[in-house]
Chains A and B, each alone.
Chain A
């Protein structure tokens, strides 16, 4: 018994090392550039693929293997430099969500590039020369390579410590982590510093990936799998803190090793639960410090301008098309129209907290998905009719909004985004792993509308009615005292409190309302598709919502509607016409972030103002 626990603990240490390699790069990059690099998992994946190519092509033996691994790490470092110079350098001053999105665009592009170069099949690498066998520890066999990995983590931590404390460059990095503005004022070449830091971080990620080669197969899912865990580690440790990341990696590594023994059903949730708990108790992580200049980050948002007559006419025309055209459409077009109506509400619900509320949510899919599951579970377990299911959807999502929102609205910026992401991942893991209840990966099938709504046209009108109605209600709330109070808290929390506003309660209620609205959208989506899957709550769906809102423009009223229409259409076309749609979608995201930061509706508004 004891021997088994020991082995379990040792393999936990080995995973902790791999996790630390990735997390250390992520946290160093964040410390200096304040960018949360979603693409860090992609760099890790690239490291693994490159190492596979190099190691299998180089002559066998120590040089071939270790040389290949190191070369892969260095190449990934160069890729990191390219990303920094071509993309991130231009958006250091942009809001956090734009940066997250931009790096997510890179994730999509790398996914398709890897698919193009290495193909869809899993690749198996050779084992490490000299470390092929196993050793006996207390009579239990333990792989030598795992033992080697255990030492890699602390060695890298030590080397990084020396680098940061014994070199001029490292001193600058630490200074920039503590106070970026000051270091700039002291005449340090920031550009070079940022680029080199990115090189280092990317190398570490690449090394982490390359060292996985003898442990597991290389595949296209590595990037999102590792990035979710690396986020957890970095957030638990405290963003920007290297020792924190090491500590957190140990914690998570051990938890996963023993979690399988103790709670085999909730291994996926466990890490995110720990992260949520840490963020609630210590909002800036175990060893993190609160951001130095939180007040300086105050952005001044313009007022909502009244819609121009042309814009109003366009809006009416859109509604007219939505009402009058469908009877003349075929089934496929009706399905697309229904989906667009649902996405408009989904986007509007996120916009409600992002625009007027100024809150960042990177996990809005949780409420969409919980709406869908709320309905589908009733169908599966008590054979409830659609009418009940559609009532249950907003209720289930709203309940999650009450609980998750209570924690999320206390934090701001990156930390809020990370906590919303954590909750979304918890919801996703529950749907994925709790197979008896949710059917796991197979989802829940047979979620069909009642007879009267089974016809595609009838269901479209039902969806349109509910989605348009809920969207208009949200809009109405934005123009009512509640929406103003929400904006007031965003514009100046100090003033809002000084005129008697309870900012926490206002943001909480807004969060709940947004969750309820997303739940309605999710419920309608479930009956439109006839099935629900855990992917409804996965990261890409949350990103969909963000893209729709940002594409339309956060600080416009019509933004989410314009954004949902444009995005759903673009998405549909890309998926239909191109094999490599992810690559193109990623490119669209980058274009959006770089050239249309105010979104389409915002850009249109500017153009109209210029003409006037």
Chain B
């Protein structure tokens, strides 16, 4: 099992944001974490990627306990991330963005001498080719279309050959056609390279079309888990999304 999460808890002040979430993601598998606004998805995610320290519970990656490590240490152990709002280095080209991840992976960030321009671009270009961004390698990230930025983020996330990809709302802000393309690309890469993928998502079409399994949260607690067809049929899930869920569902 690539990722095993056991009984995560987190509260802010008196509010229990996450209570008793456990999940597993296997290599090559896409698992979606869904739920109405305020269900605890982001809190859960931030405990996995190191941004938040859980009050209780464990995060185990490939058998190693990574609970409470800072984000950069989590990354070093093989966890790539994409963000809900893309985060790239706007003053650098697409190629340089990917090269930064590679340089960090090789622990060469404190090199004061060898110009980055003289690095062999082959590996970074190969990563960009995997996400279909090779042709735009020389463009500054600051001028890219949003969908293209998402692809660059994916290439960056793949740079340290991750075992696990954490994608927070991967298709947020994209046109419907682009969403399908990006998720198909992600699924293909995950299966080809045996990467476990955990993602949160608002677009239910994307979730039911691409997730192998789905975990549904409500008010910090898991209420359903299973294959898309099972989750779709679950009465409690229907209630949360269509019925009484609206009273605490936020916007």
Chain A residues within CB distance 8 Å of chain B: 300-304, 473, 476-477, 479-482, 484-485, 487-488, 490-492, 494-502, 506, 509
Contact = CB atoms under 8 A, between A and B. Distances in A.
A485 B109 contact: yes
B224 interface: no
Contacts of B120: none
Contacts of B103: 481, 484-485
A303 B93 contact: yes
Nearest to A490: B91
Contacts of A499: 72, 75, 100-101, 104-105, 156, 159-160
A502 B90 contact: no
B173 interface: no
By CB atoms of chain B within 10 A, which of A488, A498, A502 has the most?
Answer: A498
Nearest to B73: A500
A485 B113 contact: no
Given A487-B92, A497-B72, A499-B159, A302 B111 contact: no
Contacts of A502: 72
**Nearest 3 pairs of A and B residues by beta carbon:** A495-B87, A491-B89, A485-B109
A498 B49 contact: yes
A480 B71 contact: no
B156 to A, nearest CB: 6
Given A480-B115, A481-B108, A488 B71 contact: no
A491 B92 contact: yes
A500 B91 contact: no
B91 A302 contact: yes
Interface string B58-89: 00000000000011110110000101000111
29 contacts: A301-B90, A302-B142, A303-B91, A477-B113, A479-B115, A479-B116, A479-B117, A480-B111, A480-B116, A481-B111, A482-B109, A484-B103, A484-B116, A487-B91, A487-B92, A488-B89, A490-B91, A491-B91, A491-B92, A494-B87, A495-B87, A498-B49, A498-B81, A499-B156, A499-B159, A500-B73, A500-B105, A500-B160, A506-B110
Which secondary structure characterizes the binding site on chain A? helix
Nearest to B83: A494
A484 B141 CA distance: 14
Given A481-B103, A481-B114, A484-B96, A501 B109 contact: yes
Contacts of A497: 70-72
A481 B75 contact: no
Contact of A300 (B83, B87, B90, B116): B90
A481 B113 CA distance: 8
A25 to B, nearest CB: 37
B175 interface: no
By CB atoms of chain A within 10 A, which of B75, B109, B117 has the most?
Answer: B109
A484 B102 CA distance: 12
B76 A500 contact: yes
Contacts of B70: 497
B112 interface: yes
A304 B93 CA distance: 10
